[in-house]
Amino acid sequence: MLYQYGSAAFGPNPDNKNVVTAFAALVQLEVSGSIRLSSSDYRVNPLIESNYYGSPNDLAVELYAYKRLLSILRSDALKPVVLSEVFPGTNVTSDADIKAALTQGAQSFHHPLGSVALGKVLDSSFRVKGLEGIRVVDSSAIPVPPTCHLQSSVYAFAELAAKMLKGEKSY
């Protein structure tokens, strides 16, 4: 789990108030989503199946983490700071209500990875299998989610690829 806070509203803010958004994000899912081409025309959007909570265990872990987050935000220590709760709302307290809020409000963490993973789409030199002259070195090439925020993993991955490619004689 990754607990994160942002100083902006990640959802509607109709009263235009100062907002802090706190969330718990699954960083290593038991079940992943998928992406497929919907057409041979590159201008047509792909078919993306996020598969949020595709596993009962993923939902159970998220429920645990979110309840923990709510207990922190609703604690006596933060009462002077947290003046109101926008989502899921103070009336949401039961596991069933929290699960409903989670499934209704699930969003991408905007750090996709693995859509052209090493070993599946790419060879060990980051070349797209079956094509010449195309390599991919970004988060889409990372085959499995790291157990931390993706940014540092992307830097390490890119450095590894740069060292590998620098040592090659021809591209």
Give the residue-averaged pLDDT of 50-72. 93
Name which of 95, 88, 53, 94 is nearest 73 in CA terms: 88
Tell me: pLDDT of 14 over 70. Answer: no
At residue 71, what is the residue type? S
Catalytic entry in 33, 149, 153, 158: 149
Gap between the Cα atoms of 115 and 48, Å rounded? 10
- Asked if omega into 146 is within 30° of 0 (cis), the reply is no
pLDDT bin (cut points 50, 70, 90) of residue 169 is low
Tell me: pLDDT of 171 over 50. Answer: no
Name which of 131, 109, 113 is nearest 122 in CA terms: 131
Q: What is the pLDDT of residues 127-154, one digit of tens each?
A: 999 999 999 999 999 988 888 778 888 9
Tell me: pLDDT of 170 over 80. Answer: no
Gap between the Cα atoms of 171 and 165, Å rounded? 8
How is residue 72 written in tokens?
């922190």
| Dihedrals phi, psi of 44, to nearest 5 degrees | -90, 130
Share of the chain above pLDDT 70, in %: 98
Mark whether 111 is an active-site residue: yes
DSSP string computed for 46-67: PEEE--TT-SHHHHHHHHHHHH
Mark whether 110 is an active-site residue: no
Q: What is the pLDDT of residues 85-125, one digit of tens each?
A: 888 889 999 999 999 999 888 887 777 888 899 999 999 99
Catalytic entry in 111, 127, 136, 140: 111
